[in-house]
Structure 1
């Protein structure tokens, strides 16, 4: 089972990969959206923002993602929400697991608006 630190490093590597992307992938990564990533087996959620082609992790909270962060009504539920096991996050970032296959089998959950899903498909 991946540790919380391994998951944080995987998110950092994903962020680095997105920032170094070109063309349509870079354009898709240029969204400005709030993001949460719930690591189901560790029962922790990374909260952050997709901005400037990077994922900036601002906080780590115990449990699933809240509807608002720490009761702050100005930080509503993330616009892009991911949920998966830590090992799956590490495998996805390392290219050992195909996102579409993992999503289709339910190993990875992605929730976002229809427009954001359409834009994000270039990243996946």
Structure 2
């Protein structure tokens, strides 16, 4: 099972990957939205923002998200680490229910290019 630090490191790597992306991926990540990522097996939630093509983590707290973020992710820590490492395909994990992504319809349309 991934640790909370490994999950934090994975989010930092994902942020770096988004910042270095170009074309459609960079455009899709250029939203300015509140973000939460609930690590279900650790019952911890990272909260922050997706802005300027980067993920900024502001806090981590026990339990599910206390407030409803505009973009909400939920998954096991191992799945987060595997996705960022390129070992797990996000679209397949999302389609199978291993990863949950909730956002407004327009945001989902923009984020689909990240899948």
Paired residue total: 115
Structure 1 stretches (4+) deviating beyond 3 angstroms?
A: none
**Highest CA radius of gyration, 1 or 2?**
1
User: Of the candidates 70, 75, 80, which is equivalent to residue 79 of structure 1?
Assistant: 70
Counterpart in the other structure of 2:40: 40
Residues 89-114 of structure 1, C-alpha deviation per residue, up to 9 Å, x if partnerless? 00000000011110111100000001
TM-score by length of 2: 0.98
State the Cα distance separating 1:123 from its structure 2 match: 1.1
Unpaired segments ≥5 residues, structure 1: 68-76
State the Cα distance separating 1:56 from its structure 2 match: 0.1
Q: RMSD of the alignment, in Å?
A: 0.5
| Corresponding residue SS for 1:64 | coil
Measure the CA separation in 2 of the matches of 1:89 and 1:32.
Answer: 22
Matched, 1:60 2:51: no
